[in-house]
Amino acid sequence: MRANNILYTEVFFAPSKFIQNGLDFEEMIDFLVNRIREEKENDGIVIRLLVDVSRSFGPENAMKNLDRVLKLRHPEVIGIGLGGAELMGPARDYQGVFQKAREAGLRVVAHSGEDDGPWAIWEAVELLKAERIGHGTSAIQDPELVKYLRENHIPIEICVTSNVFTGKYVRKEQNHPVRYYYDQGLPLSINTDDPEIFNVNLTYEYYKLWRFLDFSLDEIVDLIRQGVFASFHPNKESLWAEMEKNIHLVKTRYGLKR
């Protein structure tokens, strides 16, 4: 993360398969929290966790995962997300889980519109009250949805490499809807999804925007800014001020302009 000049990140952690294989949730979270604190002490990088309640294992398992999160209440665990195989369960099946999470003060996000149509995103924002949408590639099919996301300031977590790899709606980088979303004024956040699986880092994701989707340097800087303000960081203005200093140093060092 330090090599990519990351100062703050929100990491998705999916515990269900590990629990199924016999690992203890509390022990896993304690281990991750200890590593997060070490990272902050050693490199100054702030990491927060979003626990994937997972639609791949059904609503009952999702509620159990939420209850585990609520039992521990580590400050490093700031919310839940709905990941897993999108076609295995509609968002409406998890309405009770997300309502309970919101009432407990947790942040909520949902992967949606990666393998299913725009109706799935509608459910995520209207029924789950998701604060961000992961992937969201099918939103481009519904102009009213694009308008709704823009007007309600609901960011889309863009994962170009991942979306091309899975290939449901995007077969090559040049066809990714991120260019359209940006031009339409949607709030966006650029992400790696799963850097180990896809062998990517955040810098490479931004490079692809420049290389394949005609994003200028100024637009990429704007996307970095949008990512900061799409986050759940408690002091976004302060974080962005620090990021701006780093961006200025990089641009000066390499003679970058536009």
Asked about 114 being catalytic, the answer comes back as yes
Yes or no: say if 170 and 144 are a contact pair by the CB < 8 Å rule: no
> Per the residue annotation, which of 114, 123, 157, 205 is the catalytic one?
114
| Per-residue pLDDT band at 36 (split at 50, 70, 90) | very high
pLDDT value of position 3:
86
Is residue 223 predicted with pLDDT exceeding 80?
A: yes
pLDDT value of position 257:
77
Edge-to-edge strand order for the sheet containing 107-112? 8-13, 46-52, 77-82, 107-112, 133-135, 156-158, 188-190
Domain ranges of the chain: 2-254
pLDDT value of position 173:
98
φ, ψ of residue 222 in degrees (nearest 5): -65, -40
Closest by CA to 135, choosing from 95, 106, 107, 165, is 165
pLDDT value of position 57:
96
pLDDT value of position 227:
98
| Per-residue pLDDT band at 256 (split at 50, 70, 90) | confident
Mean predicted confidence (pLDDT) in 150-175: 97
Query: Residue 227 CA to chain centroid, in angstroms?
Result: 10
At 114-135, the pLDDT tens digits run 999 999 999 999 999 999 999 9
| Per-residue pLDDT band at 69 (split at 50, 70, 90) | very high
Mean predicted lDDT score pLDDT of the chain: 96
Closest by CA to 30, choosing from 5, 13, 7, is 13
Mean predicted confidence (pLDDT) in 151-177: 97
Dist CA 8 CA 6 (whole Å)? 6
Domain 2-254, classified CATH 3.20.20.140, yes or no: yes
Give the burial class of 214: count Cβ atoms within 10 A of its Cβ; 0-12 exposed, 13-18 middle, 19 or more buried: exposed
pLDDT value of position 199:
93
pLDDT value of position 84:
93
What pTM, to 2 d.p., does this model score? Answer: 0.96
| Alpha helices (H) along 174-216 | 178-183, 195-198, 202-213
